[in-house]
């Protein structure tokens, strides 16, 4: 009987310790997941904010008619000053694959816009709109990917009364037919 009592006591101790270890691991995993979620949310917002600042500066450059302006240097500075490159690296480290891909696509379209502005395009020219609208569509695609990953909630252009993300239907230049491809296919 003494052995049976000892075995029962040891068995109870093992069960109690195992339960404590398991509960601690689950708590640690939840804290880690919360930390990753918070880091992701922060970098997702930082990336779109940096891209937004660069985009605003590029539009300002495209509206500037000063012939003495070095658009190549100014457009490069727009991306660098907004810290798009640095935040993009953080995005690649913390983002899920879908958001990272959407972010990279958005970045590539932003760089295409930068090159177009550097080449002297004005906001009223078709060549500006030919790269501007795909950039806007990629911004929305990024937002949709982030919402889906973080909250599992989808977002469609119809929620805003739009048919497409690219903004051509709301663009006064494209609606009047001044931009090439205004009747072309748009992403939805």
Whether the predicted pLDDT of 176 surpasses 90: no
Greater confidence (29 vs 147) lies with 147
Q: Give the pLDDT confidence score for residue 106 in this predicted structure.
A: 98
Q: Give the pLDDT confidence score for residue 34 in this predicted structure.
A: 63
Alpha-helical runs (H) found in 64-176: 71-81, 84-94, 97-118, 126-151, 172-175
Q: How far apart are CA 119 and CA 115, in angstroms?
A: 6
Q: Give the pLDDT confidence score for residue 180 in this predicted structure.
A: 45
Cβ proximity of 166 and 134 under 8 Å: yes
Tokens of 31: 């804290």
Q: Which of 27-36, 118-127, 149-158 has the highest mean pLDDT?
A: 118-127
Greater confidence (182 vs 93) lies with 93
Indicate the average pLDDT of the chain.
86
Q: How far apart are CA 63 and CA 124, in angstroms?
A: 8
Sign of the CA dihedral with 141 first, then 147, 149, and 150 last: positive
Which pLDDT tens digit goes with each residue over 42-84?
Answer: 999 999 999 999 999 999 999 998 989 999 999 999 999 999 9
Cβ proximity of 165 and 140 under 8 Å: yes
Cβ proximity of 129 and 165 under 8 Å: no
Cβ proximity of 137 and 186 under 8 Å: yes
Q: How far apart are CA 139 and CA 150, in angstroms?
A: 17
- Burial class of 4 by CB neighbour count within 10 A (0 to 12, 13 to 18, 19+): exposed
Which pLDDT tens digit goes with each residue over 3-52?
Answer: 777 777 777 777 877 767 666 666 656 655 567 788 999 999 999 999 99
């Amino acid at each position: 009987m003494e052995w049976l009592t000892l075995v029962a006591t040891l068995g109870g101790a093992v069960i109690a310790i195992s339960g404590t270890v398991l509960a601690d691991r689950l708590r640690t995993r939840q804290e880690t997941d919360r930390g990753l979620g918070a880091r992701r949310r922060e970098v997702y917002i930082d990336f779109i904010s940096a891209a937004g600042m660069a985009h605003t500066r590029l539009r300002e450059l495209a509206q500037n008619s000063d012939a003495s302006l070095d658009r190549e240097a100014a457009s490069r500075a727009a991306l660098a000053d907004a810290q798009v490159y640095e935040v993009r690296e953080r995005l690649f480290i913390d983002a899920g694959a879908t958001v990272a891909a959407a972010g990279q696509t958005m970045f590539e379209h932003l760089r295409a816009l930068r090159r177009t502005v550097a080449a002297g395009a004005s906001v009223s020219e078709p060549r500006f709109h030919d790269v501007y609208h795909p950039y806007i569509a990629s911004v929305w695609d990024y937002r949709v990917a982030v919402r889906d990953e973080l909250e599992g909630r989808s977002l469609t252009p119809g929620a805003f009364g739009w048919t497409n993300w690219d903004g051509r239907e709301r663009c006064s230049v494209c609606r009047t037919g001044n931009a090439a491809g205004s009747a072309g296919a748009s992403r939805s």
